[in-house]
Amino acid sequence: MPALARRFTVIAPDLAGHGGSDKPKGDYSLGAHASALRDLMVKLGHDQASIVGHSLGGGIAMQFSYQFPERCERLALIDSGGLGRDVSLLLRAATLPGSEFVLPLLAATRLLDAGERAAGLLGRIGLRARTDLEEMARGHATLSDAGARAAFVHTLRSVVEPGGQRVDAGNRLYLAQHLPFLLLWGEHDSIIPVAHARATHAQVPGSRLELFEDSGHFPQLDEPERFIDVLVEFIETTEPAPLDGERWRALLGSEAP
């Protein structure tokens, strides 16, 4: 964020139920998160923005561009959810009945330490999943808090079920044809497969695909300098999407390819 903030105004909120934000009982759907982002933009005095989302954030970014197309200048998705059925077994297991009672065990110090040791070992023998494991361990560490745990489970169950992702934007991707659209993906993503990026790129004419050969689910951490270069170049070499009510009506009235 500091590197991006040298050129742009960067807004990077903790979503409701995440990080330092409140974790109330309530709606943790993609639509609710997208509406909260809209409200934040309005409060801060920004009419439009380039929307960048990673993982769950990618699903929220797509939902935002669908609900509030007049506010979305560009769309950049990083290892995004919502583009196919496949997702890691751990996330699917976390949606099972009773998972909220098992998650505190996963957040226990000994298990987290074991996960970090496993991640270190994988890195020493050259496997690229190390960052994925470290970040998953860091995320699990927050689940000892009951409020965070409940928010996590509600959020996850809104988009994932035991069989895989239950939300798929595939039948709405044709609506993104008016947008500058960037896909960034780690080729060794152990959480959401890179095949989703390739399929989406093929489905959206004019989209741009950047694959990060040495990255897993977190290319912004595995290859940060290249990540920043690609994102900055995308923003600076594309024009904000022009969209008025008439064009949006025409897009909604057209049939998906």
Q: What is the pLDDT of residues 213-223, one digit of tens each?
A: 999 999 999 99
pLDDT over threshold 60, residue 109: no
Average pLDDT on 74-101 reads 89
Tokens for 46, please give them: 């920004």
Torsion of CA 148, 82, 237, 239, to 10 degrees: -100
Average pLDDT on 167-195 reads 91
74 vs 176, more confident: 74
Residue finishing a domain among 160, 181, 212: 160
SS (H, E, C) the chain: CHHHHCCCCCCCCCCCCCCCCCCCCCCCCHHHHHHHHHHHHHHHCCCCEEEEEECHHHHHHHHHHHHCHHHEEEEEEECCCCCCCCCCHHHHHCCCCCHHHHHHHHCCHHHHHHHHHHHHHHHHCCCCCHHHHHHHHHHHHHHHCHHHHHHHHHHHHCCEECCEECCCHHHHHHHHHHCCEEEEEECCCCCCCCHHHHHHHHHCCCCEEEEECCCCCCHHHHCHHHHHHHHHHHHHCCCCCCCCHHHHHHHHHCCCC
Against a cut of 0.75, is the pTM above it? yes
The verdict on 33 and 75 lying in the same domain is: yes
pLDDT over threshold 50, residue 127: no
User: For the ranges 68-82, 94-108, 186-200, 202-216, which has the lowest average pLDDT?
Assistant: 94-108
- Quickly state the pLDDT bin for 97 (edges 50, 70, 90): confident
| pLDDT, position 60 | 96
Mean pLDDT of the chain: 85
Residue 165 CA to residue 178 CA, distance in Å, equals 26
> Closest by alpha carbon to 180, among 82, 77, 251?
77
The verdict on 107 and 155 lying in the same domain is: yes
210 vs 138, more confident: 210
| pLDDT, position 108 | 53
The verdict on 165 and 246 lying in the same domain is: yes
Residue finishing a domain among 107, 125, 160: 160
| pLDDT, position 103 | 65
The verdict on 243 and 203 lying in the same domain is: yes
Average pLDDT on 79-87 reads 95
Q: What percent of the chain has pLDDT over 70?
A: 84
The verdict on 83 and 187 lying in the same domain is: yes
pLDDT over threshold 70, residue 163: yes
pLDDT over threshold 90, residue 4: yes
116 vs 10, more confident: 10
State which residues form the domain around 43. 2-87+161-253
Residue 170 CA to residue 159 CA, distance in Å, equals 14
| pLDDT, position 141 | 65
| pLDDT, position 119 | 53
Average pLDDT on 82-102 reads 84
> Closest by alpha carbon to 65, among 48, 87, 85?
48
Point out the residues that are catalytic. 55, 189, 217
Residue 167 CA to residue 187 CA, distance in Å, equals 22
pLDDT over threshold 50, residue 124: no
- Quickly state the pLDDT bin for 102 (edges 50, 70, 90): low
The verdict on 167 and 58 lying in the same domain is: yes
User: For the ranges 47-51, 67-71, 81-85, 247-251, which has the lowest average pLDDT?
Assistant: 247-251
Residue finishing a domain among 109, 144, 160: 160
Residue 46 CA to residue 35 CA, distance in Å, equals 14
| pLDDT, position 65 | 93
pLDDT over threshold 60, residue 94: yes
The verdict on 97 and 63 lying in the same domain is: no
The verdict on 169 and 150 lying in the same domain is: no
175 Cβ neighbours under 8 A, 6+ residues apart:
65, 66, 69, 251, 252
- Quickly state the pLDDT bin for 250 (edges 50, 70, 90): confident
Start-to-end CA distance of the chain, whole Å, equals: 37
Say how many domains are in the chain: 2
- Long-range CB pairs of 244-251 (<8 Å, 24+ gap) are 244/70, 245/70, 247/178, 248/69, 248/70, 251/174, 251/175, 251/177, 251/178
The verdict on 117 and 150 lying in the same domain is: yes
